[in-house]
Structure 1
Amino acid sequence: MTSGAHRASRDFYDILGVARDADAAEIQRAYRTLARRYHPDINSDPGAEERFKELSEAYDVLSDPDSRARYDRFGHDFRRVSEEAARRPPPGAGTGGARPRAGAAGFGAGGFEEFDIGDLFGAGSGFFRRYGGAGPLGGADQEAEIEVSLAEAYRGGRRRVSLAGPGGSRDLDVTVPAGVTGGQRLRLAGQGGRGRDGGQPGDLYLVVRLLPSAGFRLDGRDVHTDLRLAPWEGALGAKVPLVLPTGERATVTVPPGTSSGRALRLAGRGLPGGGRGAGGDLFAHARIVVPPRLGPREAELFRELARESSFDPRGRS
């Protein structure tokens, strides 16, 4: 089977990954995304050029209202159908069907924006020179991972990172904004793949991975930690010191009658908002801890308390 026959056997909508009722803008967005991914001068996979040709053929047909209408009606035989047969209305004409939306603002005939495919890549490339285009080719965007501690996410700051690549390792100065979260992408303009024939380099995106922090749990921008309390601190109340993820100290006010599991909130002491709204809170979860060993006097005081107290921890009240 030839490559052309293989392309013809696949549904054009499936090739672009769109529904059959997709409008002009959806079809164009899908083509732009896939054309950049499979362009042979960017993708070195042996099948990339064939995939790119397949995408171009599907887009050529579906971007033209007349050829799309013929394709919807006759499938891959639409090129062999005579003009007279194509002009005859299909059975049930007027009952609806998938068609491009025409006349959208900023779009040309059939609702498709008029653009040169070279624009997808900053201009032409060696591939376009082979197929009729010319000009510089912009570099591809790249991604890498950057590990950030919770303390660094609190404070932000500038740091140097080393990245390994095909041409060897390189060091880059990176600004980590305060309030950065896991999965956030930090953009370094012009630090991606090199352009060709004078094309601009692509961008480098550093994807943040927040490292676990001993004693702290992150939920969105809220930070949770355990607060160990002596029995008398929970019973009588207390002012208890707490070390924050940054190493700074805060004071937690423990109300009298605090039992294990009670969450004590420190408003605004969670992860900062990072310029995207309010920051989170810090929740200190009370955990009553009894002495592992008692001295004679301590044991006597606890026995006296047991005799005097009417509190039943297993009661209903």
Structure 2
Amino acid sequence: YEAAGIYRAGRHPDHPTFFTGPLWAARQRGRERGWTVIEGLCAHAQPAGPTTRAAYEQLGQHRPGQDFRPPPGWDEGFEFSGRGFAPGEDSEFSDFFAELFGQMGGRRRGGGDYRARGEDHHAKMVIALDDAWTGATRELALRVPQLDAEGRVTLGARTLSVRIPKGVKEGQLIRLTGQGGPGLGGATAGDLYLEVHFAPQERFVVEGRDLHLRLPVAPWEAALGTTLEIPLPAGERVKVRLPAGSQTGRQLRVRGKGIPGEPPGDLFLDLAVMAPEARTPAQKAMYENMAREFQFDARAEWEKNR
């Protein structure tokens, strides 16, 4: 195998080299079976140029047989392809070997045309939290590495209309059937998997379908208790009863008021008591009066635990 310049794709990083002439079709078929033809096979092999190498370095190649793991720093709208070596395909290597060198000698394999399902593709999709709350349809522009007529890597573009299901979670995959790589010999195309991520929010922290919200409250609200109206995504609101005597750090749980789903998530409110600044003589006098009335030592626990 070393003499032929062929190795298993999983043992070394893939090489960003593209072939011309009869080797091109054979290489593509080999890739579908999990094999890679490396640079230096024969005079037909052409070293990759800067554009090709840059694209490869950005795209990377996940190991065969493993789940897709995007390279560091991959961003929204960049479409990656990757298909691992499938178990049980060892027997096909000799067929590929014969086909490769048969084409170099002007011969073709016996039997019918080669057919292979297209590769599955992966891309990241960043959505607003409101989209997960209600469901939505969004246009997604993708940058797709592709080959031009001369076998060089270029970045093409395509736009898809994507239906975002209500209740989708961070990291969930949306599968678009038939939107991946094209099949060979009339075989079906691969699928496109969109990995969902939420756009950064100032208010909510998302964990699965649960929402966490820091809830500022006034000292008198915390001391006396009250009913608060909490804004939710997509313009919804929910009323929450704040118990009297609540303190900073207390967490209130509102069941079923997280991201919708089966089951829906919960809303967690982390209380933060905020003391207003005393700016006028009257306001300062009120604080002084409170100090006299309450005789409250906020650090009394320190003395107990010494």
Q: TM-score, normalised by structure 1?
A: 0.59
Cross-structure match for 2:273: 288
Gaps of 5+ in 1: 16-36, 51-111, 119-124
Aligned equivalents of 1:171 and 1:184: distance in 2?
Answer: 21
**Deviations, residues 191-248 of structure 1 (Å, cap 9, x unaligned):** 1111232222111111112222112112232211111111111111111222113332
Assess, with a 3 A threshold, how the Cα gap between structure 1 residues 300 and 173 changes in structure 2: closer, same or farther.
same
Look at both structures and tell me which one has the larger radius of gyration over its CA atoms. 1
State the match for 1:106 in structure 2.
none
Q: How many residues align structurally?
A: 223
CA distance in 2, matches of 1:314, 1:232: 20
Write out aligned runs for 1:298-317 (5 A). Answer: 298-316=283-301
Unaligned runs of 5+ in 2: 12-27, 42-86, 94-98, 147-154
Equivalent in the alignment of 1:101: none
Cα RMSD over matched residues? 3.9
**1:209 and 2:208 matched:** no
Q: Shift of the alpha carbon at 1:284?
A: 1.1
State the AA in 2 paired with 1:284: L
In structure 1, the residue matched to 2:222 is 234
Partner of 2:135: 156
Distance across 2 between alignment mates of 1:162 and 1:137: 27
- Specify which structure has the higher proportion of strand: 2
Identity score, percent: 36
Paired residues of 2:5 and 2:37 also in contact (CA < 8 A): no
* Distance in 2 separating the partners of 1:133 and 1:288: 77
Partner of 1:87: none
1:218 aligns with 2:196: no
Give, in angstroms, the shift of residue 44 of structure 1.
Answer: 9.1
- More helix by percentage: 1
Letter in 2 for 1:139: G
Tell me the SS of whatever aligns to 1:144. strand
Distance 1:263 1:127 in 2: 69
Q: TM-score, normalised by structure 2?
A: 0.61
Confirm or deny: 8 A CA contact 1:41 1:126 kept in the other structure: no
Would you say 1:40 and 2:31 are equivalent positions? yes
Per-residue CA distance 1:280-300 (angstroms, 9 max, x = gap): 211111111111233333322
8 Å Cα contact 2:5-2:38 kept in structure 1? no
Select the structure with the greater relative contact order (CA < 8 A; seq sep ≥ 6): 2
Superposed CA deviations along residues 33-87 of structure 1, whole A, max 9, x for unmatched, are xxxx993357795339x9xxxxxxxxxxxxxxxxxxxxxxxxxxxxxxxxxxxxx
Instruction: State the alpha-carbon separation in 1 of the partners of residues 220 and 160 from structure 2.
Output: 53
Give the whole-Å Cα distance in 2 for the aligned partners of 1:40 and 1:127. Answer: 16
Separation in 2 of the partners of 1:169 and 1:6? 34
